[in-house]
Amino acid sequence: MSDGDKNGGDKPEALPEVWPEAERAESLARGAALKWASGVFCRPEHLERLGQYRKRESQRTSSIQSRLKSVVQSYLEGVGWGLEQLREAREELKEVSRALGKAGVESSRNAEGVKALEMMREVSVNHCQLLAAVSNLPRLYSVQSMVSETERLVESRRLLEAHARLMELECWQDDILWQLHGAGAPGTAGTALSTQDEELVRNYFSGVGKLVEALGKELWAVVGSGLALARQNPTPFVSAVRIVEREEALDQAMLEERGGAGGHSRPLPSGRPRCWRERFFQVLEEAVSARFRSVSYLHTRGPGLAGHLSALQHGIMGDLATVRHLLDHCVPPHYNLTRAYLRACHRCLQSHLGQVSGWELESGEIFAVLNWVLHIYNSSDMMGHPDLMVEMESEELGPLISQECLEQLQNKYVHSVRKSVSEWMHKALEVELTDWQRDQEPDTDHEGFYLTSLPTIITQLWQCCVSFMLEENARVALMVSESLRDQTIQMGLYEMENLLNRFREALVEFGKEHRRDQSTNQNKFYLHYLLASISNCIILKTSTESLQQQLSSRSASRFSRTPPGPLAALDRAVRRACRLVMDQLLLELQPFLQGLLSRSWLAQGDVMVTLKLCGVLERHFELYSRVRPPCRQRLQEECQWLTVVEYVRVLMQKRLVCRNAEERRQLAQRMALDAQHLRDLFQGLEVEGSVSEVNPMALLPVLADFIRLKDPSMLTLEVSGLVAKYPDISDEHVSVLLDVRGDVSRDVRGTVLDLLEQSTPPLPAGYRPIFSDILVPTPSMPFCLPTAKCA
C-alpha cells in the first residue's frame, strides 16, 4: 500500500504537464473506489473477505495492463510503417520535379518552331480553297445553263430528269460549301466559313432554291390529280412517287451521316430534311377535301342535300376503287395507300358533316343526314364493303360525328317533326270542326260507319313522319337509332294526347253551341257528327296502339317527363262524346217522359206516349249502328240504362199516388206493359247483352210487382228481395215506393225501413249501381202557422 501511495503521490506532480485531465480522472476513480469499499465493508465481519477482494483486483489490474501494452505495441508498429511510406513518397516527388523541369526547358526551346507551323497552316488552307475554286470552275460556269435546262424539264413535266439535274446542282452547291470550310485539306481540322463567302455561294446558286419550289409545285399538282391520271396515264404519278422516295432516302442519309460522323460531319443543307413523303399524304388529303370546299347551304337545301350525300357516296366509292385497283400498285407497299385514303376521306367527311350539322336544317334534311351517317356510311355499300374491311376496320376510323352532335341532330329532328305534326294536327282539327257545321250527313266508309276527315289526315300524317321511318321496310327501320325512333314515337304520342284533349274540349263546346241554338234548329246533324266523332276515336285508338307497340322495352326508363297517355285522353274524349249523345237522347225523350206515370196518363189508358218514346229510341238505335264496335254496344247499353233510369226517376217524382187497390193494379199493369214494349223494342233491334251483371230492363217488372202486391204485410219480404237484387237502393227510394202504393201504415213503414237500415249488403264485384243514378226529389215542407204544432 505504501508503494502504491508513493507512486500515486509522484503522479500528480508529473502528469499535469503531459496530461491535464489525468488528475481529474484519478480523483473520480478514487471517489468511485471509496464508494464501492464503503458499501462492501460496511460491517467489521466483512473484513474477513478483504484478501479475496485484493487478489481479484490484482488480477484485473494485471489483465488491463497486458491489454494496454499490446495495443500500444500495435500502434507503434503502424506508425513506423507510415513513416517508411512517407520517406519513399518524398523521394518519388523529387524525381518528378526534376522531370518537369527538363520538360519546361524543352518547351521553351520549341516555341519558335510552332510559330513557323502556324504560317504553314494558313498557306495550306488558302491552297486548298484555291484548289477547290479551280476544280469547280467548270461546274460554276455550267450552273446557269443547267438551271435553265432544269426549268424547261419541270415545265414539260419530265419530272425524273428534272429531279436528277436538281440533285446534281444541289450536290455541287454542298461540295463547294464544304470545300470552302477547309475540310478537304489533309491533316487540317477545318476553318469556319465567313458569312460573306457563304452568302456569295448561296446567291450564285439561288436558282436551285427556285427549282426546288417549282419542282415541288409540279410534283404536288401531279399527286393531287393522281385519281384522274390513274385512269388515263399513271406514269407522271409513278415518277412523282419515285422522286418522293429519292428525297426521303437523301433526308435519311444526311441525318445518319450528321448523327454518326462525330465532329467532322457535314452540316445539313438549307431546306433539309424536306419530308416529302409526309407532304405526299398531306396533298392526298387536301385533294380529298377539295370536293367538299365548293358545297354551300344554298346548293344543298331540301332534296338537294340527299342528292349531295348520294353523290358523295358514289364519288368516294369510285375514288376508293381507283385507289385500290390502280394507284395502290403505283406506290411502295409500305405506303398503305388505300388505308391512308380511307383515313383522309373519313377526316374530311367528319369536318364536312360537322359543317352541315350546323346549318338550319329541316326534318327531312336532318333525317337524310342521320340516315347517311348511321346506316349508309357503315353499310356494305360504303365502309362496310368486304374489300375495304380487309384494309381497315370501321372501329379504327371512329364515329363519323360525335355523340354530342348526334344527339343534337336527333333533338333538332324531333323538334322539327313535332312542330310540323302539331301544325298538321291543328289544321286537321280545324277541318274537323268545319265538317261538324255541314248541313248534311257525315260520310261513311265501306262498312257503312260514319267517318270524317280527321282520322284520314292523322293516319296520313303518321305515314309521312313515323311510318316512313319504322314501317316502310325492314332496312329503313335500321336507318335511325333506337333512341331517335323512341323519341319520335314519344313525340307523336304526346301530340296525339294534346290533339285528343283539344278534341274533347271541342266536343264540349260543340254541345254547348247546340244547346244554345236548339230553338233555331240550325244543326240538324248534331247527333250524326257526335257518332262520327266516336268512330273517329276508334280509328285513332288503333293508330295509337300501333305506335305504343313500336316503343322499345327500355324507352319507358328514358322519359324525361310524365309518359304520354293518349289512350287515357282518347277514352275521356269517347266518354264525353257518349255523354253528349245520351244528353241528346234525354232531350228528345223528355217531352214524352213528362206524360208518363201521371193520373191523367193512368186514367186515359193511352199507350201512344210509350210508342212515341219507343220511336225515338228506335231512331237512335238505327243511328248507333253507324258507330264502330265496341262503342256501338256501349251506346246501346247506355241507351237502355238511361231509359230505365229516367222512367224510374219519373216514378220517384210521385206524380201518381194510388188511392186504392184498383189504381195499384192499373199502375202495375201499365208499368209491366211499358216494360214489355221496351223489351220487345230492344230485342227487335238485336241489342247485344249488357256488359254489367245488372240488366236494367228487369227493374221495371220488379217495381210493378212491388206496387201490385195486395198484402202490405208481405212488403218486408218484398223489400228484402229488392235489396238482394239491387243493393244500392236506399231507404229514400223505398220510402217513395211505399208512398206511391198509398196503403202502407206507419208501423209497416217503420218495420220496412228498419229492415232496410239493418241489411245494407256491400256491392258485389261487377255490379253497376242503378239507383245511385236516380235522385229522389226533396219533399216540400208543409206550411205551418206559428201557433200550431207541426206533426
Residue 650: pLDDT above 80? Answer: yes
Highest mean pLDDT of the ranges 37-41, 121-125, 481-485, 767-771? 767-771
Please give the mean pLDDT across all residues of the chain: 79
Quote the CA–CA distance of 567 and 500 in Å, as a whole number: 9
pLDDT surpassing 90 at residue 505: yes
Decide which of 394 and 131 is more confident. 131
Q: DSSP H helical segments within 466-525, as ranges?
A: 467-470, 474-477, 482-516
Q: What are phi and psi of 443, to 5 degrees?
A: -70, 160
Q: 410: closest CA among 466, 468, 487, 470?
A: 487
pLDDT of 60: 85
**pLDDT of 206 over the 80 cut:** no
CA distance 576 to 580: 6
For the stretch 653-707, pLDDT in tens is 988 889 898 999 999 999 999 999 988 888 876 555 444 556 888 899 999 999 9
Q: Is residue 6 very low, low, confident or very high in pLDDT (cuts 50, 70, 90)? A: very low
Q: Does residue 10 surpass a pLDDT of 50?
A: no
What is the mean predicted confidence (pLDDT) over 381-385?
82
Pull the grid cell for residue 420. 310540323
**pLDDT at residue 300 in the model:** 64
- Grid cell digits, residue 264: 467532322
By C-alpha distance, which of 288, 278, 353 is closest to 322?
A: 288
pLDDT at res. 298: 53
pLDDT tens per residue across span 110-158:
777 777 777 787 888 777 767 766 776 666 666 777 778 878 888 887 8
> What is residue 335's DSSP assignment?
G
Report d(CA 232, CA 580) in Å as an integer. 80
Which value, in Å, is the radius of gyration of the alpha carbons in the chain? Answer: 60
- DSSP secondary structure code for residue 777 in this structure: P
Angle between helix axes 715-725 and 746-758 (nearest 10 degrees) is 30
Question: Of 464, 450, 455, 466, nearest to 429 (Cα)?
Answer: 455
Round to whole Å and give the CA distance between 591 and 613: 9
Out of 195-209, 532-546, 552-566, 777-791, least confident range: 777-791
* Amino acid identity at 728: D
How far apart, in whole angstroms, are the C-alpha atoms of residue 668 and residue 620?
A: 28
Q: For residue 200, is pLDDT > 50? A: yes
pLDDT at position 672 is 92
3-state secondary structure of 595: coil
C-alpha cell belonging to residue 790: 207541426
pLDDT tens string 604-638: 877 788 888 899 999 998 888 888 888 888 898 89
For residue 444, the SS3 value is strand
pLDDT at 581: 92
At 16, the pLDDT band (50, 70, 90 cuts) reads very low
C-alpha cell at 511: 254541345
What confidence tens digit (pLDDT) does each residue in 30-72 have? 888 888 878 777 777 777 777 788 888 888 888 888 988 989 9
Q: Would the pLDDT of 544 be above 60?
A: yes
Q: What is the structure's pLDDT at 302?
A: 62
Confidence at residue 646, expressed as pLDDT on a 0 to 100 scale:
92
10 Å Cβ neighbour count for 628?
20
Residues paired with residue 450 on neighbouring β-strands, in sequence order: 444
The yes-or-no verdict on residue 579 having pLDDT over 90 is yes
**E strands along 542-667, which residues?**
none
Across 720-726, average pLDDT: 89
Residue 484 has pLDDT above 80, yes or no: no
Task: Return the pLDDT at 4.
Answer: 42
The span from the CA of 342 to the CA of 722, in Å, is 88
Look at phi and psi of residue 744 and say left if phi exceeds 0, alpha if psi is from -120 to 50, else beta: beta
Q: What is the DSSP string of 6-55?
A: HHHHHHHHHHHHH-TTHHHHHHHHHHHHHHHHHHHSSSGGGGGGHHHHHH
User: Which of 181, 169, 174 has the alpha carbon at shortest distance from 129?
Assistant: 181
Is the predicted pLDDT of residue 481 greater than 70, yes or no?
Answer: no
CB atoms within 10 A of CB 730: 14
- Percent helix, strand, coil in the chain, to 5, is 75, 0, 25
Q: What pLDDT band is residue 447 in, cutting at 50, 70 and 90?
A: confident
Contact call for residues 662 and 743 (beta carbons, < 8 A): no
Residue 263 has pLDDT above 60, yes or no: no
User: Which residue blocks in 653-730 are alpha helix, DSSP H?
Assistant: 661-684, 699-708, 715-725
> Residue 752's pLDDT is what?
87
Kindly report, residue by residue over 64-108, the tens digit of the pLDDT. 889 889 899 989 888 989 899 998 998 999 899 888 888 888 887
Are residues 342 and 397 in contact, defined by beta-carbon separation less than 8 angstroms? Answer: yes
pLDDT > 70 in the chain, percent: 81
Contact 374, 479 (CB under 8 A): yes
Cα of 351 vs its chain's centroid, Å: 21
Which of 612, 577, 578, 579 is CA-nearest to residue 596? Answer: 612
Q: Which residue has the higher pLDDT, 720 or 546?
A: 720
Contact 728/769 with Cβ under 8 angstroms? yes
Give the whole-angstrom CA distance, residue 727 versus residue 600.
Answer: 33
Peptide bond between residue 333 and the one before it cis (omega within 30 degrees of 0): no
Type of residue numbered 193: L
Would the pTM count as exceeding 0.95? no
How many residues are present in the chain? 791
Rounded to 5°, angle at Cα 259 from 254 and 262: 115
Averaged pLDDT for residues 722-732 = 89
First to last CA, the chain: 152
Say which residue, 162 or 736, is predicted with more confidence.
Answer: 736
Quote the percentage of the chain above a pLDDT of 90. 8
Q: In this predicted structure, what is the pLDDT of residue 476?
A: 36
Q: Are 668 and 618 in contact (CB under 8 A)?
A: no
Cell numbers 494558313: residue: 122
Return d(Cα 791, Cα 148) in angstroms, integer: 140
**Closest by alpha carbon to 679, among 644, 710, 728?**
644
Question: Torsion angle of alpha carbons 214, 216, 221, 226, nearest 10°?
Answer: 150
H or E, element range at 770: none
When comparing pLDDT for 201 and 230, which is higher? 230
When pLDDT is averaged across residues 496-509 and rounded to a whole number, the result is: 90
